Structure formats: C-alpha cells, structure tokens
A = this chain, B = another copy of it.
C-alpha cells in the first residue's frame, strides 16, 4: 500500500505521515484504550476527499478510523495499527440555517455549540447538548448518538437528525433521510447510521432539526439530601408526576466532596447527594414549585428555587466540574449505564455496594431524569501500568446489575472499545449475528473502524 498514492489524489497538504504529529490523533478521551499507530492521518476538507480516501482504503484493505474532536469516552476514536485516521475537523461549514423549515445543514466537523449560535438569531436552537458541546463535533455526536443535559426534555442526537450525507466503505457518497418532518420511503438508514460509531460509513454532513428556543429563562431548583436513596426517590417522583423538567441532574457525595476540596463550594457534612433541576416552559414556575414539593416530600434537608441566571450557572458549574474534579484524584474510568427510571435508587445502591465490596473509589453523577448514570471509577495504575483488577471486577458488577434492572451498558457514550466485552450480554447472540450481517452489508471488507462498537 502506498500512502503517496493517496497523497497524490487528495493533495499532500491534507495528509500527515510524521509519527510525532500523528501522535495527537491516536486517542480520544478513553484513556484506558490502547491505541495503535496510524499509517497516515487525513485532514479531510470535502466529502470528495473522504470518498477518495475510502476508495484507496478499499483497494489496499486499510482500516479507517474517523474522528471529530476526539472527545469520545468509550474509545470509538482510538487508532488501530496501520490505519488511516480521517479527521473531519476542517469540515466546519454551516451550509444552511433555514428558519422556515426549522432545520440546519452542517458539515461533520462543525462544533455542536456553533449550530445553536447560528440558529439563535431566528429564535431556534439545536437541542442535544453533550457536556462537550463547546468542543465536540456534530460528526462525533452522530457517531455516538450523544446525549446531554437537556435531552431529558429535548431528546438525544438521533431525535434531531433528519438526514445524512455519508461515504460508504467503497467510496460511494449516499444521502439518507430527508428535509421533511415525516417520511417513510425506505428503511430508516439515518437512525441506523446514528450511533454506529464509524463502523458503517463516514458521515460528511447532516440535516438537523432545529427547535424553538425555550420561551423563557429556566427556573432552577436545587436540593440536598442526606441519603442517595431519598435523592433518587425524588427523581422518581418527578418523573411519575409528568412534570417535564428541562434538566434533572444528580451529583453524589464523593463528587461533591472532590469539587468542594478543589473549589470550596461550602459543602455540608451530612450531604449525601444533590439534585439540580430546571424547567424552561411557560409553566416553569409551576413545574419548579412541583419539583420543590417532590424534593421536600422525598426528604431533602434543603431546597431552593432560583430565577437568577448567574446562580443557575454556578450550580451547573458544579455539575460540569464533576469529571475534572475526579481526574484530579487519579486515573478515571467513566461509565455510562442506563436503567428504567424507577430503578434509579436500586442502581445507585448497587454502585455503592460494588465500591465498598471491592474497595474501589466510585464517584457518581447522573442524568437522573433519563435514568442515565455515570459512575466514575477512580484509581492509581498498578506498578506495571495496568488497571487494577478490582476496578474491572467492580465495573463488571455494575454493568451486570444495570442489565438485571432492565437497563443498558451505555446510555450515551457508545460501546467503543471499552464496553465491547460486555455487549453480547446485553444484545444476545442472535442480535449480535444480525449486527454482523448489517455490518457486512455496509462494509464487506471490514475496513471501517474495526474492533469498535457492536
């Protein structure tokens, strides 16, 4: 195989082969995944570049790993040995913002937050907001079907993708989906590609649904609880009450303590968990009052309702600091189980139990309104640089418990490389076989992101 041949067809300014420069394209944020060494990194500028690259990769049987900003937490963007890495970060054009049809057409490398900024002048927003929304690309969001904080009300990435332009493994460029709200002509290839972690094709642009921005600033409700169970009970009551919060986050004591040690937020000794909720509809005040009542009835020892934007921003900052605060304490394995919302108390208790039994430090935050729980396993690497066995044992217990509760291994991060060995537990062998058949239909040579996802 000759990388020079590819350089000739797409232009050498778009191709990196210097190992030192390529090094920064080998990993995403899944630090526990072991990356291989790419043969080349392509900084794609057009769908045609990617088409050329995939024709070349097909001809030479070269594995292809596509990446956006590299913010993935499951390792979907991890380089494999001898691969071509395709980076979409130069494909940053917002091709269309259409207020009449409430949609946008954007290239894969556009930063998530830039879409809402472009839509803002029309009173519209792009709803899905993964924590990485200021740095992650829409292409990466699509690859993982990213969630976020406000998806409890506005839905995940898949719910906002109307159509895609995608390059197939053999280089053909195909469009899926539509610009209409509804449409049932053919199979839903769009939904199939969203969340497929680069294993079925390379997304080059997307037609996205925009939504009217909330009619008013959100009202924020914060509650602190002296037990994790009472916080989880409050969440269950809010869900059951059909209140429709625009955000409903839970932060556990270990996380709060780490943030407090770092930023001095004035944590009380008896706080076991905090809930932060918002409502942004025209009935936000009524919704906030209802949530306050549910928090109190579930046993909160402190509840406050705020209309103040600065105060709300401070509270959300505590939530956003959760992950960096964990990282200060050691190596982190960020997990992402999801359970039916009524099972949230059970899931949180099981995480606590796994931590205690295996003497592993676990710090937990949750998109509680969705039943999506992020236990972060914090540890020091062993002398030989590996992950302590107890961490994997505890993680294994957490995964199995999520499945027992009718849940999933991953709510929004994807399978990547880190969760592959558990996947068949969730899907079963017949479904795995269907997955392999679908993969073969799109990518008969198996060159697209091998060893990732399903």
Contact = CB atoms under 8 A, between A and B. Distances in A.
- Max chain B C-beta neighbours (<10 A), residue from A103, A123, A187, A371: A187
A99 B240 CA distance: 7
A346 interface: no
A317 interface: no
A318 to B, nearest CB: 22
A341 B191 contact: no
Contacts of A244: 212
A445 interface: no
B438 A372 contact: no
Nearest to A100: B342
Nearest to A339: B180
Interface in A270-309: 281-283, 286
A393 interface: no
Contacts of A340: 98, 100-101, 103, 179-180
- Max chain B C-beta neighbours (<10 A), residue from A173, A183, A423, A437: A183
A240 B122 CA distance: 9
B282 A184 contact: no
A138 to B, nearest CB: 16
B145 A184 contact: yes
Nearest to A200: B187
A147 B195 contact: no
A442 interface: yes
Given A240-B100, A283-B282, A442-B437, A431 B189 contact: yes
B100 A236 contact: yes
Contacts of A145: 184, 188
A438 B439 CA distance: 9
B195 A192 contact: no
Interface string A439-454: 0111000000000011
Contacts of A286: 282
A112 to B, nearest CB: 17
A427 to B, nearest CB: 5
Majority-rule SS of A interface residues: loop
A370 interface: yes
Nearest to A176: B431
A32 interface: no
A222 interface: no
Contacts of A370: 180-182
A390 B283 CA distance: 53
A356 interface: no
Contacts of A100: 236, 239-240, 340-342
A431 B201 CA distance: 13
A427 B442 CA distance: 16
Contacts of A413: 184
Interface in A148-173: 151-152, 156, 158-159, 168, 172-173
Contact of A182 (B101, B156, B185, B426): B156
Contact of A183 (B178, B179, B338): B338
Contacts of A454: 186-187
Contact of A192 (B188, B212, B339): B188
Interface of A: 98-103, 123-124, 144-145, 147, 151-152, 156, 158-159, 168, 172-176, 178-189, 191-192, 194-196, 200, 212-213, 215, 236, 239-240, 242, 244, 281-283, 286, 338-342, 367, 370-372, 406-415, 419, 423, 426-428, 430-431, 434-435, 437-438, 440-442, 453-454
Given A188-B191, A281-B283, 6 more contacts: A175-B428, A181-B341, A182-B370, A186-B431, A215-B283, A434-B442
